[in-house]
Amino acid sequence: MNAPARDEMLPRPERRGPVAAHFPDMRLLHEVTKSPQVTQRDLSRRIGMALGLTNLILRRLINKGFIKIVNVEKSRIRYLVTPKGMMEKARLTHEYIEYSLLFYRSIREFLTEHFARLAQEGHRRVLLCGTGELAEIAWLTMQQVGLELVGVIDEAPTSKPFLGRQVHSLGYAAEAECDRIVIASLAPHQALLNQLASVGIEAERCLLVPQPGKPLPPLARDAASRPPSTVHWEEEQSPTPTAAPSGTETA
């Protein structure tokens, strides 16, 4: 299977990815179903999106007939998911599950091939960047191909261990004895590469794990002109949120 064919299997961002940031309609419908009197500010916080963008999504769902507004008091309203909205929520949930399974299989295929190539080249000591689900998938795949995890770093480290290890700041990469850095984070890749470059880490030492909602880059076998252990591609630019319509409820 070549890279373009696999890319076509994965839904584009506008078809909703498997994480909250790429699936706002489903998340918003679920939240309104659970809490009809929720405010737009609460919705914004729960789905992890800007208030203005949350307002636009909510208005779109209302215009499509998926949600209706009911006046409870003079200054309070309720959002009710309509029967049409319940059908849409079920459809999006099915798509979410289907996409999540497909993404997991695709990412495991990608990681298995690239990690096996690292092992063949003798680059077995790996520093992992990230503390989420992508990082967990990367760690499981590392174990299968015999790579050694030497440490974990993150853009926003906390005192909570990850994979039984202390999580260090990105600056730790400068002193870690590793052959490669696997970036398995939902943070913007270019920003992470820039921060690593500031402590002397060259981009060629980094393997970028594809993020949900974005096409997988070519596998090594599909990119003979590139170094087999290095994967880079241009970040897709997120659309700039439009300001919320005036006069909308944002409490």
Task: For residue 229, tell me if it sits in a domain.
Answer: no
Give the CATH number for residue 49: 1.10.10.10
Domain count, the chain: 2
In DSSP terms, which residues pair with 73 in a beta bridge? 76
Residue 87 CB neighbour total at 10 angstroms: 12
Residues 113 and 203 occupy one common structural domain: yes
Do 77 and 108 lie in a common domain?
Answer: no
pLDDT at residue 73, as a whole number: 72
Residue 93 lies inside a defined structural domain of this protein: no
User: Is 62 domain-assigned?
Assistant: yes
Are 129 and 212 part of one and the same domain? Answer: yes
Q: Do 120 and 60 share a domain, yes or no?
A: no
Residues 68 and 108 in one domain: no
Q: Is residue 173 part of a domain?
A: yes
Residue 73 lies in domain: 19-81
> Which pLDDT score, from 0 to 100, does residue 122 have?
94
Domain annotation covers residue 5: no
Beta strands in the chain (DSSP E): 67-73, 76-81, 125-129, 148-153, 167-168, 180-183, 206-208
Is 44 within the bounds of a domain? yes
The verdict on 42 and 112 lying in the same domain is no
Does residue 115 share a domain with residue 76?
A: no
114 and 156 in a single domain? The answer is yes
Q: What is the pTM of this model?
A: 0.63
Q: What is the CATH number of the domain that holds 177?
A: 3.40.50.720
Which residues, other chains included, contact 129 with Cβ-Cβ below 8 Å and sequence gap of 6+? 135, 152, 153, 154, 170, 173, 181, 182, 183, 184, 185, 192
Give the N- to C-terminal CA distance of the chain in Å, as an integer: 50
C-alpha distances (whole Å) from 30 to each of 74, 192, 211 are: 26, 32, 24
> In this predicted model, what pLDDT tens digit does every residue of 116-157 receive, in sequence order?
999 999 999 999 999 998 999 999 999 999 999 999 999 999
Evaluate if residue 93 carries a pLDDT over 80. yes
108 and 211 inside one domain:
yes
pLDDT digits (tens, 9 = 90+) for 178-206: 999 999 998 899 999 999 999 999 999 99
Do 132 and 74 share a domain, yes or no?
Answer: no
**By mean pLDDT, which of 14-28, 74-88, 107-121, 190-204 is the weakest?**
14-28
Task: Tell me if 45 is assigned to some domain.
Answer: yes
In a domain, 241, yes or no: no
Distance CA 104, CA 93 (A): 16
Quick one: 211 and 113 in the same domain?
A: yes
**66 and 147 inside one domain:** no
